[in-house]
Amino acid sequence: MECLVIADHPAASVELCGISMMERSLRTLQACGFTRALILTDSEELMSETRHASSSHWTKIARNFAARRTGPVTLEQLVAVWPDDRRDLLVLRGDSVFDARLLRLLRTQNSPVALVDSGVPAKLLPLVSSLPMTNRGRFCGAALLSRDWVSGRSAPLEEALCAGLEDESLLAFDVATHFWYSAELHRDLRAYWFPSPCPVHNKLVENVILNAAQKGTLDIPALVHAPIENFIVGKLCKTAVTPNQLTIFCNIIAGGATILFATGHLGWAIAVALGVGVLDGLDGKLARVKLETSKAGQLEHFFDVLFENSWWIALAFYLHSTGKLPGAYHYLLLLLSAEALAKLARSSILRSSGKSVGELSRFDRIVRLIGARRNVHVWILAVGIVLRNPAVAFVLVAWWETITAAAHLPRAAWTLWVGRSNAPRKGR
């Protein structure tokens, strides 16, 4: 897949959440499956910046450059650089931010189409007021064009696209009329786009990007953690810290909590565990903000399970060895078994319905809000330790996990049955 990026200095060099607009465009295109990008620019400085920039997050997309004269981009300039082997070409502004879902949908269209937005949210209107308005909505700065459509016209590109929308020779893909659901984040999330902001609007666009990195269907502790995580990620994204470094750091700290639980330093252990609750959300959110997701990052879930189970085992060891809870290992077995069943139920629901259990009904949302999860367990244990009764808190954690599993299992069975009932049957 190949695309054409129109980018000029200084707008395409504006830094947002730690990376330039140009680099963000390339990372987004790579995430959408594009392997080649032709960058059309009138800036030798931008050519040099982009050519010599080194990033492991765009190594799969080859960059070629084409120079043009200063001024509005014309259709003639597009024809002059149009790849010989391409009938259709995605064309976009390199000084704009596009939700990857927008570009993925554009590339699947079968006719020339331009991205428009007839219902820009009020808070984003100051960002897009400079972009042209058409009878189909405000032009967003991206279009899928065919060689035939471009070759038969002569005008500045943006003017030609707006005229094509007006006379309907160019179809409109309207952001406002599309239903936007993010399977990755498990929530409805309107696709975002905006051009390079002026400095006074930097905070606004950073908040848009941070909000777009927030997962849905959270439990109560995660709702408390979210604004703290956003504040920290807002600072970290402007540094050289990487998501994988955060993952390693978080697991080292979590390992320290295991030692503290096992040795009976419960106050310090729970304080560290509470901190890990925030730290554990930083790596994934930073990766989504800076488009630095990787296969290595997927191992995070394995390490999460490893360290959280080590906490329960260490605490059970301490409570049993000190005689504070002689049956600690029985409750540990109950906790781990119920936790395994609950995770099996949640994963089967996700596979069969495409949604997390907390999205299915109001009852399931309530269970997700207060049900057993690591952060909820840590809060229960924190209360028990403050009240000087960690044994009772551990017993409550085990039974709370059991009750949660009992709530998830019938839902999983029902979802699987409905899925099989609705599946198309093969003919005889």
- The rounded distance, in Å, linking the Cα atoms of 21 and 255 is 38
Residues in the chain: 428
Across 36-72, b (16+ Cβ under 10 Å) vs e yields ebbbbbbbeebbebbeeeeeebbeebebebeebeeee
DSSP-derived letter for residue 408 is H
Question: Is the CATH code 1.10.20.140 the one for domain 213-422?
Answer: no
- The rounded distance, in Å, linking the Cα atoms of 330 and 308 is 18
Q: Quick one: 100 exposed, middle or buried, by C-beta within 10 A (0-12, 13-18, 19+)? A: middle
pLDDT of residue 57: 65
For the chain, domain boundaries: 2-187+190-194, 213-422
Q: How does DSSP assign 306-334, residue by residue?
A: HHHHHHHHHHHHHHHHTTS-TTHHHHHHH
DSSP-derived letter for residue 264 is T
Any idea which fold 2-187+190-194 has?
Spore Coat Polysaccharide Biosynthesis Protein SpsA; Chain A (3.90.550)
As averages over each run of 10 residues, the pLDDT of the chain (428 residues) reads 85 89 91 90 82 67 86 89 87 92 92 94 89 91 92 87 91 93 88 90 92 89 94 94 93 96 96 95 93 72 87 97 96 96 91 85 90 94 96 97 94 83 54
Residue 314 and residue 381 in contact, taking contact as beta carbons nearer than 8 Å: no
**The two three-digit tokens of residue 376, written as one number:** 């909820």
Quote the pTM value: 0.88
As beta bridge partners, residue 6 has 40, 93
DSSP-derived letter for residue 121 is -
